[in-house]
Structure 1
Amino acid sequence: MTRLTGKQESTLTAAPGRTVEAALIHPTLILLALLALPLPGHSHDGKTLLSQDTFDSSGAGWETACQRQEISPEFSVDLNKSMTGRGSLSLYGASNSSARGCWRKVVEGIEGGAFYTFSAAFASTGIRQTHHRVFARLEWRNAQGGKIGNTREYPPQNGITDGEWRFVEHTFQAPESARSVALELFISQAPQGRVWWDNIQLIEVRPPPHRVVQLATVNCRPGGNSSVAETVAEFCAVADKAGAQGADIVCLGEGINLIGVGRPGGGASKYQHVAEPIPGPTTEALSKVAREHGMYIVAALGEREGAVIYNTAVLIGRDGEVKGKYRKVHLPEGEYDQGCSAGDSYPVWETDFGRVGIMICWDSWFVDPARALAAAGAEIILLPIWGGNNTLIAARAIENHVYVASCGYDVESRIYGPWGALLAEATERPGVAMVEVDLNYLPSCPWPWPLSDTRHVLMQASRYDVKIPELER
């Protein structure tokens, strides 16, 4: 279950705290941005199973846990450090690069199928990339006290800070057979690191509301036109069909002011011939359709800003306003040959139904763009694409646990689910494909080894500290 509510439409960067439009994103900032996802719109109006901010030398009901004594961190209760109350649970890496262990407490009274919000505060020193080295984990247990499959939960950092204290928080649904949960507060492989845990809560909450989105893509490839306006009109016509079918957001193609536009003396246009300002004539045409149907539109076009030309995608809001733009980061040589310049950031936007990001064509061949967007909170990635590889597009959905809607010319226009399942395909040209998705209730894991809240599991395990020397020369 992803975590976003609200009605704002804004651009977010991949920086500690709330995510906003980022400059070229370093992997560490990507992870910080992922951990800055906002909380679900739940009321904490249920039963409080645990609320603890005071600790004594005995650990106040918490026990220490480690797989082997040889890799045990040093455990202590620090009576002199706390956020509120008195004392905190401390772990130290003990100058051991393999040290890994946790404070653990089993909480009874879990009801199978109910929703629970877990939160905790932590402070740390001597630790970089805390997503991997400082984390909380929930392990659901059945009536006999046994672990239930592999359904471990990793609440992410929520981007809020209070001085030196940061917070992990998330809402989870307990498995039907769960009757208790083990709360675990970790330090992992941080030899000179120390962490303090405090303000630990587990509260039953109401189920999250459904967050349904009508997600659409189109199949449209204009040709034989003598002007940009003719080509753009064809895209507007098929976008109009998507709007008439009730789309909340529709993905159009790449270079919609370029494809199918001929030159007066013969031959095809290039980006330097058609590039225009944003806002400009093409976005004005798209805005009219978006406003008429009250839907979002994503499309890529040649953009000119002063002397510079970009392959740029725009997000048009329901009100017809340009909410933001993404300049393609990975350019093939053919676009450099047309005088285009590369972008340098991966923006994410908050819409009235969730967070969206955009890739363009060749971006889909690289792991970094989709990873950056997902880390900054994107739940849906829109992909205007000339031609490409569907296997790679599906992989971007799987590895980041997001929906991906692509609109192609030499590759199919498709919508993939978070597990890579093909949900819809626009087979007619021109034509529309649309699917209803619920961003608060993602499809369950189809594999025999479930990964629970998959995005947080994968990001928690990511090792951005392992360098690739060949790429750092």
Structure 2
Amino acid sequence: MTSQSKTESEVGSTGLTKYSSALPFTEAEHNHRTIPDPKLEFDPTRIARLVVASVRTRSVSGFVLVLVFCSFGGSVSRRSGLQGRRTTEREARPDNLVRNPGFELTLEDEKTPLDWRQRTEREEIAPNFELDSTVAHSGRRSAKLSAKGSPGTFGYWVTSITGLPDSNTPLTNHIPTEPMVRAKGFLAEKRYRFRCYFRARGIKSIDKSISIKARWKNARGQEILGEYITSYKLQGEWHEAEGILAAPLFAKSVDLELVLQWTPTGTVWWDDVSLEQISPPQERKIKVATVSYEPPPPSTPDKDRYFFAEKVEAAGKAGADIICLGEGITKVSTDKNFAEVAESVPGPTSQVLGDVAKKYHMYVIAGIYERKEAVVYNTALLIDREG
């Protein structure tokens, strides 16, 4: 069950549960090409020095040299400026569009991962950015973000994937603007599976303080759609985050952001980031229901929740997959104000509606007033098919 909330004065969250270059190589492919041809004569140390010099000057030839060297050399000495390793099972996927998924390839300082950048709004709220060789989901290291005491902590690692397939471009020169994002026909047929792993320590709310965002951009570098990956599950000490993304039309690149935010303490480690193109899912029809009823007055919060539970049950019997109720359903037709009907989440309303949702294997959206100590939220519950 997921909740999105708004206080009397500001937006908040209940924090319950969850919800570059067009290069033909990935890091895995780089590392697979580690066996040199004995017929080729080259000086790897000299090439490595050229790589470092080129990368530092950000020249076009520098990127070509990086590719050539990685394809022949694999692991390089500390003097070369590139640090490599053997490929992990996850990175060995040839379809992974993230070129340095495990943060294993770095410059000679072993502090700067290739193809990843550090971003923050202001230095005073920036977390510490580090590569950690003591913690890893696979391979030798992970990318670490640590809060430094500010409740407004905000910073993220970001990588860019460019050169998305031309089929994302329709036969028109029109470039959509933000209000058109959700318009019919805006999303292309291309689908991508995002996956990464993160480990958290000392963070009060993962939902609030850890986020993953994909920013789709057009050929001009303008953002045309931003979306969050919100689904994750715990596997041992690591969470696996995964989401299926639909590329918008005109998208030529996507930025993947791994964020730590809004916590004065705590650390998050990131590892094994992947983005793979997949086949579009088959279309399926769903039944959607909505309710426009008011309980007969005078009513009470308890009468209200059972009144609307009956409407949900009627929709479930009709085969509805999802039903949307109104705002503040436990206040309707009562003589109480929103603070008097506010309740906890999970609480009596989520329990009553959750039982019906589970019985008929359907989703239920319902607006209630939620209380957390002295703060009252205008909350939308999203209850899944399991209640």
What interval of TM-score do these two structures reach, taking the shorter chain for normalisation?
0.5 to 0.7
Aligned with 2:193 (options 117, 135, 144) = 117
Asked whether the equivalents of residues 46 and 206 of structure 1 are also in contact (C-alpha less than 8 Å), the reply is no
Distance 2:306 2:358 in 1: 23
Distance 1:174 1:310 in 2: 42
Distance 2:152 2:263 in 1: 8
2:309 corresponds to: 313
Asked whether the equivalents of residues 138 and 152 of structure 1 are also in contact (C-alpha less than 8 Å), the reply is yes
Q: Is 1:55 matched with 2:104?
A: yes
Deviation at residue 155 of structure 1 after TM alignment: 1.0
Q: Is 1:355 matched with 2:363?
A: yes
Q: Is 1:209 matched with 2:282?
A: yes
Q: Is 1:104 matched with 2:152?
A: no
Which residue identity is paired with 1:372?
A: L
Distance 1:270 1:139 in 2: 49
Which residue identity is paired with 1:141?
A: K
Distance 1:210 1:103 in 2: 35
Alignment CA distance shift 1:183-1:318 (3 Å): same
Distance 1:302 1:167 in 2: 41
Alignment CA distance shift 1:140-1:310 (3 Å): closer
2:381 corresponds to: 372
Alignment CA distance shift 1:124-1:332 (3 Å): same
Q: After the TM superposition, which residues 69-88 of structure 1 pair with which residues of structure 2 at under 5 Å, given as runs? A: 69-88=123-142
Which residue identity is paired with 1:147?
A: Q
1:344 corresponds to: 348
Asked whether the equivalents of residues 46 and 205 of structure 1 are also in contact (C-alpha less than 8 Å), the reply is no
Alignment CA distance shift 1:200-1:254 (3 Å): same
Q: After the TM superposition, which residues 400-411 of structure 1 pair with which residues of structure 2 at under 5 Å, given as runs? A: none
Which residue identity is paired with 1:345?
A: T
Asked whether the equivalents of residues 98 and 274 of structure 2 are also in contact (C-alpha less than 8 Å), the reply is yes
Q: Where does the alignment leave 5 or more consecutive residues of structure 2 unmatched?
A: 4-11, 20-92, 169-187, 320-324, 337-342, 371-375
Asked whether the equivalents of residues 72 and 99 of structure 1 are also in contact (C-alpha less than 8 Å), the reply is yes
1:148 corresponds to: 223
Taking only the aligned residue pairs, the percentage that are identical comes to 24
Q: CA RMSD in A?
A: 4.5
Alignment CA distance shift 1:332-1:214 (3 Å): closer
Q: Secondary structure of the equivalent of 2:331?
A: coil
Out of 116-125 and 49-58, give the one that drifted further.
Answer: 49-58
Q: Secondary structure of the equivalent of 1:32?
A: coil
Asked whether the equivalents of residues 211 and 353 of structure 1 are also in contact (C-alpha less than 8 Å), the reply is no
Distance 2:360 2:102 in 1: 36
Asked whether the equivalents of residues 101 and 187 of structure 1 are also in contact (C-alpha less than 8 Å), the reply is yes
Distance 1:79 1:302 in 2: 58
Distance 1:352 1:333 in 2: 29
Distance 1:334 1:96 in 2: 43
Alignment CA distance shift 1:354-1:173 (3 Å): farther
Asked whether the equivalents of residues 317 and 360 of structure 2 are also in contact (C-alpha less than 8 Å), the reply is no
Distance 1:181 1:71 in 2: 25
Out of 204-213 and 178-187, give the one that drifted further.
Answer: 204-213
Which residue identity is paired with 2:144?
A: S
Asked whether the equivalents of residues 93 and 99 of structure 1 are also in contact (C-alpha less than 8 Å), the reply is yes
Distance 1:367 1:71 in 2: 27
Aligned with 1:164 (options 237, 240, 255) = 237
Distance 1:183 1:176 in 2: 18
1:93 corresponds to: 147
1:194 corresponds to: 267
Asked whether the equivalents of residues 55 and 77 of structure 1 are also in contact (C-alpha less than 8 Å), the reply is no
Alignment CA distance shift 1:83-1:353 (3 Å): same
Distance 1:143 1:91 in 2: 31
TM-score for both structures, normalised by structure 1: 0.44
Asked whether the equivalents of residues 128 and 146 of structure 2 are also in contact (C-alpha less than 8 Å), the reply is yes
Q: Is 1:31 matched with 2:106?
A: no
TM-score for both structures, normalised by structure 2: 0.52
Distance 2:367 2:227 in 1: 29
Asked whether the equivalents of residues 46 and 204 of structure 1 are also in contact (C-alpha less than 8 Å), the reply is no
Distance 1:88 1:345 in 2: 42
Asked whether the equivalents of residues 191 and 280 of structure 2 are also in contact (C-alpha less than 8 Å), the reply is yes
Which protein has the bigger strand share? 1
Asked whether the equivalents of residues 298 and 334 of structure 2 are also in contact (C-alpha less than 8 Å), the reply is no
**1:63-95, CA deviations, whole angstroms, 9 ceiling, x for partnerless residues?**
212233343221111111122333111011122
Alignment CA distance shift 1:48-1:191 (3 Å): same
Q: Secondary structure of the equivalent of 2:16?
A: helix
Alignment CA distance shift 1:175-1:253 (3 Å): closer
